[in-house]
Amino acid sequence: MIFLQMRVSVKMSSMELIKKLRDSTGSGIVDCKKALSENNNDIESAVRWLREKGILKAQKKQDRETNEGVVSFYNNSSHTEFTVCKIKCETDFVSRGEAFQEFANAVVEIAFDNAIDSVESLMQAQYGESTVETARVELVGRVGENIQVSAVHYAKHEGEFVSVYSHG
């Protein structure tokens, strides 16, 4: 009887580890379980393993066409500066997803805050503790689709009023 209780306790801790890893990375249950088993239930090693796997996934998906996505806008409170970013993915399902929308909003705000006007500069910009490129690769691993930041434009118009309208 004691052996069964210990076994259930071990199963619960494995499930808790999977949940913790899934919450921190956004990866699927099967990927989290495999990452933990490959790394002796070490969360930090499992996160690194999942990131490396995400990079490989992103490289495999890089040549896929991205015909859907969003155009994100951000302007200042005085309406004299704005940034627009075009972020593409493979399907409208992903483009409407919360993770993709959060990424798009964060990226356009980063471009605005740093007055970035080129995709290359934007991809190297700070995104949390990493870069926009690293965040993009991690998102590709989570959603399973190619995602590309294809355009960014920052503009400042002193003495003019800039307004943004988004239909749909």
Q: Could you read off the pLDDT of 145-154 as tens digits, one per residue?
A: 999 999 999 9
What is the band of 56 on the pLDDT scale with cuts at 50, 70, 90? low
Which distant-in-sequence residues (6+ apart) come within 8 Å of 111 by Cβ? 74, 83, 85, 122, 125, 152, 154
CA distance 148 to 119: 10
Tokens of 12: 């619960």
pLDDT per residue as tens digits for the range 73-95: 998 887 788 999 999 999 999 99
Phi, psi of 130, deg, nearest 5: -130, -150
Q: pTM higher than 0.75, yes or no?
A: no
